[in-house]
Structure 1
Amino acid sequence: MEDRLILMGVIGKPHGVRGQVRVHAYGEEPDLLSQHVLVDAKGRHFALDWAHDNVAWISTVTGATRSRITDRDIAARLTNVELFLPRSVLPETEEEEFYLADLIGLNAQDEQGQVLGKISNVLDYGAGASLELTPGGLLIPFTRACVPVVKLADGYVVVNPPLEIEAKDDMANTEEPSL
């Protein structure tokens, strides 16, 4: 599997006047962010040193040089910058565990083995993850009921679209009621 970049956190608002920022860390191990050089979507490299709770010092990294940001205005310009790590530096998963990013590119098939599409994206807006399938953009809630089987090594998941999705498809094939 290629070494994808995995979103591990987002820089929040500045904290204080000396360049500290709040960092919203994703995952169970926030300390992982301070153990590696992080990269943003523009290819810039950062290092993070936790000060306390979700507050950190951020340094820019160029080669072997780290330059700590000590100015609130410079830190404020980093608000909403997403921080990524290569998949290879993340801890290995246990059986029945996986990173959501590992699902992207897998085939999605029904229980009879018919391929319904490929997982093109995993979306999570806070109420639980959904798998986006292409072609068509079909969204499947990532729950055990809707995705009962995940076979990373074999390259597929089994999906059971909820009744609401099937009903929506059926409604598209009916005429609108006359008023």
Structure 2
Amino acid sequence: MFLPLGDEPNPRGVPWVTYGLITANVAVYLLISLPLSFTRADPTDPALAAYIGVLLEQFGGRLSPAELVGQVSAYDLVVFTHGFRPADPHLAALFTSLFLHAGFLHLAGNMLFLWIYGDNVEHRLGQVRYLAAYLATGVAATLFHTVFDRWLIHLGRCRRKER
């Protein structure tokens, strides 16, 4: 069960919600994440100054602002804007962060498990309850990570949490 290598087709119908979620995740990766990962951030983007400020706060004097600006990709700013940041929480970011992935292996692993287990859960719960459960568990996982992780890293935002 830990590493699924296959699955027998579920004869009770087509898992449209699972297919839709996989399509949405892959589309976000291919159309947004992948191309922007290789593009430098626009120096006139106001999000860049905010992001550099967060990085300077986190990493102190180890890197200069000029060094940081040269290393920030356009995707870093998309993640900073649409990923969940505990220090600046937004309700929408709890949901948009569910479709952002750190790289191909992160996406591939998540989609493999969704492909293998998603159809079974969808057939068990029904389409509407399955979609609600997918979104609710994604939000819960983000909040759980926020509460219990000492170093908060939520797609571009890092800060120390004192216990």
TM-score, reference length from structure 1: 0.25
Higher-Rg structure is 1
TM-score, reference length from structure 2: 0.26
Higher relative contact order (CA 8 A, sep 6+): 2
